[in-house]
Amino acid sequence: MTRGGRDKNRDEPDRRCIVTGEVGPKAGLIRFVVGPDDAIYPDITGKLPGRGIYVTAEREVLEKAIEKRIFSRGAKRQVAVPDGLIDLIEAGTLKRLQDAIGMARKAGKAIAGYEKVKIMLDRGEAQVLLQASDGSERGKGKLSTPQGGKWIGFLTADELGLAFGRDRVIHAAVAAGTLARRIVEEAARLQGIRQNNGGKPAAEKDIGNA
């Protein structure tokens, strides 16, 4: 298990964070590339051409990369950092997480609604339990994290709702599989980016084990 609660996958190549010097799987890092205008750009999908520069997906590390001009050191030349870079990364990572949940829903692997989630949990089919941070604590407390699975509890009801094509969602669950693993990875990255944002640190329990 690595920083941010990520499970290290030995099958993928490791990358080094230019700020901390730590080596880890790409799932726990944000990739950046230098554009033709010598500006740094986040590559949330990991598909942009060019040499990758990696930074740990944690807000304080990203802030240090900007404040100490470490991107220029990683690029081995002077590069410009766009205003609002961390906000851009957060928005892109949130969308990627919502897209993953949406894909799981279309594949029949993710469902929303208290009763449906309870049935999925009772049957032992769920791998991930998602509950809105602004939902009723009493209602959320009636559902338990899947045995051996994960609980994600820092997304708002509006954010979960967008992933399911609804206005708001309080309870959701995802069945085991590749998409469940991707959702957990993307959630860990997003939670790290949101830490200490506006003086409201994301609680360690917001992505937890059973």
Tens-place pLDDT, residues 172-185: 999 999 999 999 99
Question: Over the stretch 156-167, which tens digit does the pLDDT of each residue have?
Answer: 999 999 999 999
| 3-82 and 88-209, same CATH topology | no
pLDDT above 80 (res 210): no
Query: How far is it, in rounded angstroms, from Cα 55 to Cα 65?
Result: 8
18 contacts 55 by C-beta, under 8 angstroms: yes
Question: Over the stretch 71-91, which tens digit does the pLDDT of each residue have?
Answer: 999 999 999 999 999 999 999
CATH match for 88-209 among 1.20.1270.360, 3.40.440.10, 1.10.340.30, 3.30.1330.30: 3.30.1330.30
- Architecture of the CATH domain 3-82: 2-Layer Sandwich (3.30)
Domain ranges of the chain: 3-82, 88-209
User: Which one, of 2, 5, 6, lies nearest residue 205 by Cα?
Assistant: 5
